[in-house]
Homo-oligomer: A and B are copies of this chain.
Amino acid sequence: MRIVQKFGGTSVADVDRIRNVAQKVKREVDAGHEVAVVVSAMAGTTNQLVKWTNDILKAQKYPDPREYDVVVSTGEQITTGLLALALQDIGIPARSWMSWQIPVRTDDAFAKARIESIRGEEMIADMKKGVVAVVPGFQGVTAEGRVTTLGRGGSDTSAVALAAAIKADRCDIYTDVDGVYTADPRIVAKARKLDRITYEEMLESASQGAKVLQVRSVEMGMKHHVRIQVLSSFSDAPGTLIVDEDEIVEKALVSGITYSRDEAKITVVKVADRPGVAAGLFGPLSDANINVDMIVQNVSDDGKTDITFTVPKADKERAVDCIKGLKASIGYEAIKSDSNVVKLSVIGVGMRSHAGVAQRMFKTLSDKGINIQVISTSEIKISVLIAEEYTELALRALHTAYGLDGE
């Protein structure tokens, strides 16, 4: 088997932890596998590097992203060399491969680049001889040979892209949680760790606020059919495998319930209910780079309607200011906004073929006296917006209602 292992910043935070990582790599090598390891920077290093690129500026507000990338990419390079040394020290042949040596080609969107191709012939040849390849995550090199970074969290994407490129049988993402849960176990004591979950469910979970894996890495895994395992650096328990739907025999109706507190609700009151009003409202918000998520429009009354939608909490003020500037063009009576909301999402590929999933959600919340403010659905997800104070109550009730409770 050929395996890619990825270790994040807390897993390589100091030399002792890097030695611990070397033991996890050794286990796979001892099992006869060919191994490539993708590493993040030691925890804290990237923040220090980013800080320097800002502190150095007096006149300019933002650093040139090309030079930013040169500085910030060094963090992972340090870890690759140290892990190669730690592996050699326990008798495992290993070498580091810089992005430009492999090469990992990206586009030239510096500081937020996307991987375009990974050749890696020489690296694979070396792996076939039993040498572990240690690769810096989060970075690449343009066709012109300049250093790029993929943006924060990009190391997950690096690992999955590498796994796809070298046709690895599995991509193990080691983190500080030991897998994907049916709900946040800090809130729902009866939450269970899932053995398997589909790419689509994982994708919905990631975009609905679960922070286990970066969205782009899951997309890439789905596209290239890379079996991704999420597991803990600090225990030996098996994790959660993210796979194609046909690899899951017993499909649960609902695989998990997520929540996101990063939402704010805005209502534009008594807008004229005529064509072009929605475009006149959401166009300027999009131009201002404000991401609108859930949208609901009331039934028209006297040719007027209310439009309610959510935006990231951090963008609430900017969104309200933006809409104030639209008073003349779209016409409305008032703007109301509320940050004390939470979005709950019930996710599961099983709901494609089952009716009544949404109804069970609405009834459960209603039974607890919780008012639903906004609803949105996709093929495998139902999301509702409720008052934030009900977060824990609602999560636990839904977890029980969908039969997810463990022992």
Q: Which residues of A contact B (CB under 8 A)?
A: 15, 18-19, 49, 52-53, 55-60, 63-64, 66-71, 74, 77-78, 80-82, 84-86, 88-91, 95-96, 98, 100-101, 145-147
Contact = CB atoms under 8 A, between A and B. Distances in A.
29 contacts: A49-B78, A52-B82, A56-B82, A56-B85, A56-B89, A57-B85, A57-B89, A58-B90, A60-B89, A63-B85, A64-B85, A64-B88, A66-B95, A67-B81, A67-B82, A67-B84, A67-B96, A68-B81, A68-B85, A70-B80, A70-B84, A70-B98, A71-B77, A71-B81, A71-B82, A74-B74, A74-B77, A100-B100, A101-B145
Contact of A56 (B15, B100, B147): B15
Contact of A60 (B15, B59, B81, B88): B88
How many of these chains are in the complex? Answer: 2
Given A67-B95, A71-B82, A84-B67, A90 B145 contact: no
Contacts of A52: 15, 78, 82
Chain A at the B interface: SS class: helix
Contacts of A71: 77-78, 81-82, 85
A67 B88 contact: yes
| 8 pairs of A and B residues whose beta carbons are closest in the complex | A71-B81, A70-B81, A74-B74, A67-B81, A67-B84, A15-B55, A15-B56, A57-B89
Question: Which of A96, A100, A147 has its CB near the most chain B CB atoms (within 10 A)?
Answer: A96
Given A52-B78, A58-B89, 5 more contacts: A18-B56, A56-B85, A67-B81, A70-B77, A98-B147
A67 B146 CA distance: 22
A57 B18 CA distance: 11
B145 A89 contact: no
A74 B81 CA distance: 10
A60 B100 CA distance: 29
B70 A96 contact: yes
Contacts of A81: 53, 67-71
Contact of A74 (B60, B78, B145): B78
Contacts of A84: 64, 67, 70
Contact of A59 (B49, B64, B89, B100): B89
Contacts of A88: 60, 64, 67
A100 to B, nearest CB: 6
Contacts of A55: 15
Contacts of A78: 49, 52, 71, 74
